[in-house]
Amino acid sequence: MERYDWAAGRSRRTGFFDVDTGGEMTLELRRSGNEFQIMRRFGYWDARYPEPFIVPADPLYFRTDLATIPPVFSWLIPTMGMQLPAALVHDALVTSDGELPTHDGPSVSREEADRIFRDALKHIGTPVVRRWLIWSGAALGTIWVTARPRPALRLLTVFTLVAAAVLGCLTVLDLFDAVNVLPWMASRPWWAELPLGLAATITIPLAISVLWSPRWRIGAITGVAGTLLAPITVAITATSAAYYLVEMAASSRHGLSPDVASSLARQD
């Protein structure tokens, strides 16, 4: 088959394309142990670069765990959702120190890879709120990995996440009169506590995000989302833990694990 010459003349386009044909991207994956192999290379044009990003550089050696989403958040952002092509681009752009590039195209920093990830999510059709939530999660990972010379960023990340979780859980507990520690909710009726609690779960994280300047967007999204999602996350974590214990007891007799990837690895 004649290969499409994607390098010959670019008309300032953006988005995903098939490397062989230049047409619509075709995503082909094959399981390799508890990871996946991309069988058909695809490309992504970013508006800021004259060359596309081709993923992967070598399909024979590149492996991915798909979109890295903590299981407790899979109800909100599924691993195999529409964001997968953008996640694969991000996976290929981010490499460890000393690791060879796993994509063909311009080399970028990890922070720039996060920005490309966010724009790619837009081009693949990811809804606005989910797109920024996914980006903030990736950006937190970048801060944690690259903040070694500036540990204050790590401390700020931990502080924001803990403050958000505590605020979110206390707000729900106060709403149901299990505790009475938040002065702005006090002992009012629930219909009065609800808007006051919701306002606090937004304004307090936004105030904390000032400390993140110039990364205030990351702090704001992390704080507000963390506060609103903390009670749900706690409930899902408790339910998942109970299921895991039951599944472990039931599956161990058959040589299986509650974790699907672990069970597949045993079979291999």
Q: Are 37 and 59 in contact (CB under 8 A)?
A: yes
Q: In what order do the strands lie in the sheet with 42-45?
A: 15-18, 42-45, 53-55
Q: At 95, phi and psi to the nearest 5?
A: -125, 155
Residue ranges in 53-127 assigned as alpha helix (H) = 84-93, 110-123
Residue ranges in 190-257 assigned as alpha helix (H) = 190-208, 216-251
The residues pairing with 30 across neighbouring beta strands, listed in sequence order, are 37
Q: Which amino acid is at 149?
A: P
pLDDT at residue 129 in the model:
94
Q: Are 142 and 134 in contact (CB under 8 A)?
A: no
For residue 101, what is the DSSP state? P
pLDDT tens digit at each of 268 positions of the chain: 345 555 554 544 678 999 988 889 989 999 887 789 999 999 999 999 999 999 999 998 899 888 777 777 877 887 777 889 999 999 999 988 778 889 999 999 999 999 999 999 999 999 999 999 999 999 999 998 886 657 888 999 999 999 999 999 999 999 999 999 999 998 889 999 999 999 999 999 999 999 999 999 999 999 999 999 999 999 988 998 999 899 989 988 888 877 766 776 666 5
- Sketch the domain layout of the chain as residue ranges: 15-146, 151-267
Q: Which amino acid is at 221?
A: I
Q: Go through 45-67 and write b for each residue having 16 or more CB atoms within 10 A of its CB, e for each that does not.
A: bbeebeebbbbbbeeeebebeeb
Those residues whose C-beta lies under 8 Å from the C-beta of residue 62, and which sit 6 or more positions away, are: 37, 38, 55, 56, 92, 102
Place of tokens 């800021």: 48
Residue 129 CA to residue 122 CA, distance in Å, equals 11
Residue 151 CA to residue 101 CA, distance in Å, equals 27
Residue 261 CA to residue 33 CA, distance in Å, equals 8
Q: At 100, phi and psi to the nearest 5?
A: -65, 150
216-251 and 151-175 are packed helices; what angle lies between their axes, rounded to 10 degrees? 70
pLDDT at residue 96 in the model:
81
Place of tokens 């999204």: 221
Place of tokens 């995903």: 16
**pTM for the complete prediction?**
0.85
